[in-house]
Structure formats: C-alpha cells, structure tokens
Amino acid sequence: MLLCATMHYQRVGIGLLLWSVFFTLILAPTVDARIRHYKWEVKYEFKSPDCYKKLAITINGRTPGPTIQAQQGDTVIVELKNGLVTENVAIHWHGIRQIGTPWMDGTEGVTQCPILPGDTFIYKFVVDRPGTYLYHAHYGMQREAGLYGAIRVLVPDGVKEPFSYDYDRSIILNDWYHKSTFEQAAGLSSKSFVWVGEPQSLLIQGRGRFNCLASGLQADTCNSTNPECSPYFLTVVPGKTYRLRIGSLTSLSALNFAIEVNGSPDM
C-alpha cells in the first residue's frame, strides 16, 4: 500500500513537472520573451570623430554601433553582413553568458570561423540577465578601429528595479589613435618593437576633440569646424532622473568619468 501510494505520488510529481516544463517551454516564451532583430552592415568609412579624418569601422554608418535593446529572456538576432572587402569579422557579446549557444560568442578562431568578406552571419542568442553589456569586434584590432557598441537588457515586465528613472542612456568611453590599426599592429609585432604611444584623443560616445590648429595638419585632414567632431552632448531636462550606463572600451587608457555641474549654485 505504501509503495502504491508512493508511486502515485511520484506520478503526480512527474505530471506536475511535465506541466511546468510545458508552461516554461511552450507558454512562457510566447507571453514574455520577444525577438529583437537587428540587421547590420559593417564597413570602412572615413570619419572625423575627433576632427581628424581617418578610416573607421562602422555599423550601418555609425561608430559606436547601434545600442542593442532587449528585455531579460529575449532572443537577440543580429544579421551581420561583412562589408569590409578584404577583412574577416566576428563580434563578441561581452558579458552575455551564451548558455546553450557557445558558438555565438563571437571569438574568431575559438568559437566560430570568422565571417568572410561579403558574407552574412546570423548571430542568435538569449540575453538571460538584466544589465549593461558591450559588444565589440574580436578580429585583429577592429575594436580599436571603432567596431563596438552597447547592449542594454531591461528587467522583465512586472519586476521593479531598486531605483527609478525617467530616461536611460548608454555612454561608451574609448581612446582613439590617429595611426591606422594596421600600422600599430605592424609596429607592435615587429622586431624593433614600435610602441603605439599615447592616444591622440579620448572619445565619449564616439566623439572627442583634437586640436587641429596646434597640430599643423592640413584642413582637409583635421578640420575643427567639421560638425562631425562636435563633443558629445547629453541634453537633460531639469527635474528628471537619468540613468547613465557607462562602459569603457579603451585599448590602454584608464579613465575617470565625472560630470561637471555648471549653472546656478543650487543645481
């Protein structure tokens, strides 16, 4: 009798377990999780992020690339076309655990073959934890050439964060060198070692300011009146709360980030 009762109990247990698996696998994703679909084209373009014109790697014409926005449990799909003509590419999603999808981790030569010039690869992974993450190139020195961006994963519906805010902004800090990454890489790996030195600029969300006048460079190379090199502005509305998600993708620099408060003393 006891045995029967136990078996019966187990059956109920298995039944409940199956139901919960059913709910988790079949029902939950259709209720909560969404698919976030991105279509990216990676290319070289002339950019003047700090007034100095050089080749940068862009995603859909921009560096930093677009911010990926998702909610915990969502599936992110990035359809990436490599438009670099002579270079491979791979993107690493820094901080994303890739549970069940290790081949989507984007480390070229380790978890995937690189994406060949002209090819399209579809990255597909679940963002399982809320937070602020970064993505960046994982091939050669392409990250230093501008191939990076932010990932923002929000808490699921119904979950409250321990703070509240009106606006959510991502800011990536970076150091920026005027020499091409090829020239730097050749120096770093040559027999008489050539150190890259100090960066020419620090970029805030892909914007900085290099002193063209003092540099003596030609105006077609370094042009301080080029609107592309205006510093990064974040317009804020008084009385509103802003959440700033700060990330750093510097090659060498260690940075402090501070906000200078201007204006009336009571601010």
Ligand X SMILES: *[C@@H]1O[C@H](CO)[C@@H](O)[C@H](O)[C@H]1NC(C)=O
Residues 82, 86, 90: CA angle, nearest 5 degrees: 40
User: How many CB atoms neighbour CB 258 within 10 A?
Assistant: 6
- 132 vs 223 by CB, closer to ligand X: 223
Judged by CB under 6 A, the residue of 220, 235, 256, 266 near ligand X is 220
Q: Does 223 bind ligand X (CB under 6 A)?
A: yes
Q: Kindly report whether the peptide bond that precedes residue 64 is cis, defined as omega within 30 degrees of 0.
A: yes
Cβ proximity of 231 and 207 under 8 Å: yes
Cβ proximity of 188 and 194 under 8 Å: yes
- 111 vs 224 by CB, closer to ligand X: 224
- 61 vs 197 by CB, closer to ligand X: 61
The token duo for 222 is 């370094």
- 223 vs 251 by CB, closer to ligand X: 223
**Candidates 6-14, 31-39, 111-119, 222-230 — which segment interacts with ligand X by CB under 6 A?**
222-230
Q: Does 164 bind ligand X (CB under 6 A)?
A: no
Q: Does 116 bind ligand X (CB under 6 A)?
A: no
- CA dist 33 and 156 (Å) reads 9
Q: Which of residues 200-219 bind ligand X (CB under 6 A)?
A: 219
- CA dist 169 and 69 (Å) reads 11
In the complex, least distance from residue 57 CB atom to ligand X, rounded to whole angstroms: 22
Cβ proximity of 133 and 50 under 8 Å: no
In the complex, least distance from residue 63 CB atom to ligand X, rounded to whole angstroms: 18
In the complex, least distance from residue 52 CB atom to ligand X, rounded to whole angstroms: 12
Phi, psi for residue 115 in degrees, rounded to 5: -80, 120
**Candidates 17-25, 171-179, 192-200, 224-232 — which segment interacts with ligand X by CB under 6 A?**
224-232
List of residues contacting ligand X (CB under 6 A): 219-220, 223, 225-227
